[in-house]
Amino acid sequence: MRKLVIATRKSRLALWQAQHIADLLKKSHSKVEIELLPLSTRGDELIDRRLDDAGGKGLFIKELEHAMAERRADLAVHSMKDLPAELPPGFALAAITQREDPRDVFVSRKYPSLGKMAKGSSIGTSSLRRQAQIGERHPGLEVRLLRGNVDTRLAKLDRGEYDAIVLAAAGLVRLGLAGRIAARLETDEMLPAPGQGALGIECLAERTEVTALLAPLADSATSACVRAERTVSRLLGGSCTLPLAAFAEIANDQLRLRALVASPDGRRVVRTECAGPLADPGGLGERAAQDLRRQGAEEILGL
């Protein structure tokens, strides 16, 4: 192929991510021309409603998939935490690249950490997963809806609309905004979303020539971890309407997977932890999902 077109959302972070993949592709395939196709998505336009009320994670990718189906684009770059657990028929996840810091971070001008916030203080997030875990550990805080891209969320904080906000570390680091981080939330305190910190590259399943070009970008360790996490999500509904967290890491040549399901207010939480071979991330994810079900996950989630 002489040219590859990358479909991307228009936000500053999405454009950074797409350009990052473009740069990696140029290193592997110096003779291939790379072009970005920025698109506006429904998810970016709906900034005053929860995604679970508006239609879910798919709102961020439908326009990008449309462009690939019409051959206006050859691939699309996504934050893995924004990618639904089930892709539409005809599409494939061609590569998952090396993960950035998967943790959530606490951002505030008033407080040094989540645990130091005064009772009744407001904290912004659009994530039911974060809301639930904050509610479980810090029930005296007021969790309020916060939508928009990274820059929009930081601007709302700076205007005093919130006392603090919680964001993904990866987004701030990639945008050169790590200096805004007051505290990084360890995974024992705030378990991340499936795939958080990793980038995924999607293309049409039939485009084997594109898949071949993307192969050098795949990171095997990240892929194993993210596939285990996404299996948990897929088997328990796979949508952002679920207060669900899953995080896998490699230890002693095995995958260690932790996952939880919670009610949105954090009053009911079930957790699991298991380990298994690197070669079977899907099986490990299935075990975790089954254990969460045994503890009542389906009742909590209303499945």
Which distant-in-sequence residues (6+ apart) come within 8 Å of 105 by Cβ?
166, 167, 168, 169, 172, 181, 182, 183, 184, 185
Reference 67, options 5, 20, 2; nearest CA is 5
3-state secondary structure 106-150: EECCCCCCHHHCCCCCEEEECCHHHHHHHHHHCCCCEEEECCCCH
Q: Is 118 exposed, middle or buried (0-12, 13-18, 19+ CB in 10 A)?
A: exposed
CB 138 within 8 A of CB 120: no
Which whole-number Å values give the CA distances from 90 to 61, 79, 84, 178, 264, in the listed order? 14, 20, 15, 38, 34
Given the residues 82, 101, 104, 163, the one annotated as active site: 82
Catalytic residue flag (residue 101):
no
- For the chain, what's the residue count? 303
The residues carrying an active-site annotation are 82
